[in-house]
Every structure is written in structure tokens, then in C-alpha cells.
Amino acid sequence: MSEEIVVDGADAPAEEAAVVTETLFGVPVVHSVGQVVLHPTRDEYPALLRRLHEDGFHSAVDLCGVDFLTHPGRDLPADSTPERFEVVVNLINHRSRSRVRLRVQVPESDPVMSSATGLYPGLDAPERETFDMLGIVFDGHPDLTRILMPEDWVGHPLRKDYDIGRIPVQFKEAPAVRR
């Protein structure tokens, strides 16, 4: 990546430097299993995508949503506020052979974020799937309609509070199969 990682608080007095936040492109960064993970806010997300695209990250590998309703504890930078939903985007820079992951917190009360399809057309279907399964709306998406469930389906099946609904299966006595 062309921009260097900046460590905020590194020159602070020892008692204040206990919490050190690294930033890249102005957003908090952590490292997970050798990969750079950026934590932009929803407002920072569109500009960060443009910066990454300009920096050579032209391929979007994946976009998915996560519902943390039943698992609220997770590792986030100190200045990131955990929300119920998270959108995860993986990008690749083929020239530098590098990857970057973005983790965007999305509140349950307003599950809306900007679409990335303008820069990454290949994210059309993953954004639609995330909308269909979790109810996260991607503002600016060219065709945000259901992709897996019928159009008249009510609810979002991958939400942790979605009623699964089961149909009991009743087996009749069947003779044993002999071979």
C-alpha cells in the first residue's frame, strides 16, 4: 500500500500511550493472521473504497454481512463502537500481491450503508445477498432486490432473531430395507 501506517499516540506520555491506535488512510487498522484489517465508519466507507481503488485494490473478492446479536464480544479497535451488524469486504491488489479486509459496523436501528458497486461491479450479487439474508440496505445499489428468497418473503433468514419455523416430519412405520 502506498500510504504508510501511522501510529497515533506513540509520542504521547507513557501513561497516555497505553492505548495506541494504528491508522491507514485515516481509519483504524489491526492485523489479523498477517492481513491488514481496516475499520472504517459507515461515513468513511465510500471515500476509503475510492482511496483503496486508486491505490491498486481493483478486485473485490467478497462482501458479506454478519449478525452479532448472540455474540456481542469481538475484537475491535478501541475507538470503534460495536454494532449488531457488520459488513466485511475483502479486496486484492494484484500488482503488490496484497489483501485488505474492511469491517464496517452497521447499527440495527439504521441498517443502511453505501453501495460499492460503482467501483466494484462484482459486488452486485453479494450486496443483494446481504440485503436479502440480513436486511442491510446498500444505498445506491442499481437493483437491490431479493436474490435468494421469493420477492414476497417476509423477514431476513440469517438474522439471529429470525424465527426458523419448523415443519414436523412424521414417519410412518416402514418395513426394513433388505439387501
Query: Which pLDDT tens digit goes with each residue over 145-176?
Result: 999 999 999 999 999 998 876 655 555 665 55
Cα torsion through 12, 14, 19, 22, rounded to 10: 50
Higher pLDDT, 177 or 76: 76
Q: Pairing between strand 85-93 and 59-67?
A: antiparallel
Cα–Cα distance between 81 and 105 in angstroms, integer?
A: 7
**pLDDT attached to residue 21:** 74
Amino acid in the structure at residue 134: L
The top-level CATH class assigned to 6-139 is alpha beta
Domain ranges of the chain: 6-139
| Alpha-carbon gap, residue 40 to 3, rounded angstroms | 16
Q: How much is the pLDDT for 178?
A: 60
Whether the pTM exceeds 0.85: the reply is no
The residue-averaged pLDDT of 80-84 equals: 94
- Give the whole-angstrom CA distance, residue 64 versus residue 53: 19
